[in-house]
Amino acid sequence: MAKMCLIVLAALLIVGAAFSGIHKGPRVLPAKATAGDETDEVFEVMGMRVYPTGPLAAPGDSITYTTYDYATNGSVNRNLINYGNGVLSFARMLAQGTGTTPPDRGSWYNFSTDGGRTWQYSWGRVESAYHGWGNIDQLRDFGGLEVIVSHLGAGLPLTVSVDLDRGANSWLPSTTSPGNALWARLGIGPGVSFHIVHGTGGNPATGLGYTRSTDAGLSFDRIDVNIFPGNAVPDADTYAASARGGKIAFVVASDGGDVVLLTSTDNGDTWATRTIYQSTTPPPEPQPQPDGSCDVLIDSAGVIHVAWSNFMRIGADLVYSIDAPVMYWNSSSEVIRTIAYPVRDSTMIVPTNSRFGNYANQPDLGTNSTGSDVYCVFSQLISERDGSNNNYSHVYAVKSQDGGTTWGSEVDLTPGSGFDAAFPTIPDLVEDTVYLAYFADALAGNFIRGNHAQIQVAVMLLRVPVSAITAVHEVGGELPTGYVLQQNYPNPFNPSTRISYSIPTAAQVRLSVYNMLGQEVASLVNEYRNAGTYEKAFSAQDLPSGVYFYTLRAGAFSETRKMILLK
């Protein structure tokens, strides 16, 4: 039955192609695979192709380059599909022309069958003209036919491009005309239904629009319908979309606003709305509020996973605070959790022309095939600075192996120095390997926001074994029987060390570091955690050598240990 439906769908698309025209990218023979340098390091050195030419310490394979070094105003677009067994599709807004509006900007696509070691096509744009903000999804019921949605510009309709076969790079374009849409996000299903959430009314947007096709993009029966409660106006890119198993989910996390989840189980005819995280505007005291970047993912069991990042809001103003945790919620437990707090450093410099959501944290979610393992990658400023005294970003990840209940320590997936790692994205499906795409160059920030001159920026693909991302573990397979604060390791250390602790029951946990004067110099953990054994990384890169103390408080328990920083 599925095969017959696929044949019918292909026939419909081909008929539509006769009237709309097909854009087919140039096919080239894949380059001869290279083994690369096999080492005992966690991160595999992949290919030797480097764009741009010259030294770059960022880990992974530089698969092409872009001069348009910007990927989103807030939430990450879906740019990678993992079909398993090394089969990947990549589609992302790139360009290699000059200026802030390079004429070749669009959704650059490629397809790999060997985990991104080689690619089937010459790199190029799917659309026939200038486009932006492309993101890709698949028709799961039809062998993974791929769909890309992107925008033409303010006052113009969206373009929806459908590939005639998975990885064929033969794209049938259609539009949502009439329309006035920007910054779209796409979810597909059930069947051949496309569900698109986007800004509507131009730039800046005047509302949040919903557009639907029930026939694989041949026509659209709902266009620019405002489904957001109260006709509120979310900021650009402050939303995400997912669809699976007859369920559709949109999440909205505007700068300084609430985190709102919209769901439909009748193919988008009606929508249920709930507020996951509520903000007070303006708050009576400093309060963490969303920074405008979020993600939503429906797993194979139908559980909705939501992640967003917070900034600290003080009064009526949003402060560029580096105190920026990654938050998480799912529809199974309905508990809000802080899952990552990678860096808290008030000495960091944020470029004045940056905007919320595009430098930290941009969470992107993935799960394994059962939904038991949940991954979240995100961008975060680090203390290292470039020649203009701006802080670099690196890509971090956290992992849960119990469906999002408990989470492990943050892991820097892009260790090293001398480079900026920005705009990370992973596929929805993560099995043995996390496939991570990101931008890397030697200058912090990006040209599009005016942080530096226009240069060639490497588009990186990194393969990370899932074993490299730690998760909360239980000692001996059993929950701890008592409170334990371990000695940090290594000790003495320079500049990083790790601290392990165990709690036998769920409690509010606080893990802090103090200097010899009793002044708190770092707050490593301050959240509710379930019983288990945890490990936390601590970097003292900006602290002087000396003796420091770290204290664990959980319920009525308190213990302090000493550690030595030698530089």
Q: Is the pLDDT of residue 128 over 90?
A: yes
Please, what is the end-to-end C-alpha distance for the chain in angstroms?
67
pLDDT digits (tens, 9 = 90+) for 200-209: 877 777 788 8
Give the structural domain span for 487: 475-565
pLDDT digits (tens, 9 = 90+) for 65-79: 999 999 998 899 999
Residue 289 lies in a domain: no
Tell the burial category of 292 from Cβ atoms under 10 Å away from its Cβ (0-12, 13-18, 19+).
buried
Q: What is the mean pLDDT of residues 500-529?
A: 88
Residue 47 lies in a domain: no
- Greater pLDDT, 169 or 24: 169
* Residue 418: other Cβ atoms inside 10 A: 12
- Greater pLDDT, 441 or 347: 441
How many domains would you assign to the chain? 1
pLDDT at 476: 39
pLDDT digits (tens, 9 = 90+) for 36-74: 222 222 222 222 233 444 346 789 999 999 999 999 988
Residue 255 lies in a domain: no
Name the residue among 369, 453, 363, 458 with its Cα closest to residue 419.
458
Distance CA 13, CA 219 (A): 12
pLDDT at 2: 46
Distance CA 448, CA 72 (A): 11
Distance CA 374, CA 76 (A): 17
pLDDT digits (tens, 9 = 90+) for 465-507: 998 887 654 333 456 788 999 888 788 888 888 898 989 887 8
Q: What is the mean pLDDT of residues 530-548?
A: 87
- Greater pLDDT, 457 or 291: 457
pLDDT at 232: 58
pLDDT at 69: 93
Report the predicted TM-score, pTM, of the whole model to 2 decimal places. 0.77
Distance CA 252, CA 235 (A): 9
Tell the burial category of 242 from Cβ atoms under 10 Å away from its Cβ (0-12, 13-18, 19+).
buried
Residue 65 lies in a domain: no
Q: Is the pLDDT of residue 215 over 90?
A: yes
Residue 483 lies in a domain: yes
Query: Encoding tokens for residue 299?
Result: 């797993």
pLDDT at 427: 98
Residue 541 lies in a domain: yes
Residue 496 lies in a domain: yes
Instruction: Say if residues 294 and 307 touch (Cβ distance below 8 Å).
Output: yes
Look up the CATH number of the domain holding residue 536: 2.60.40.2550
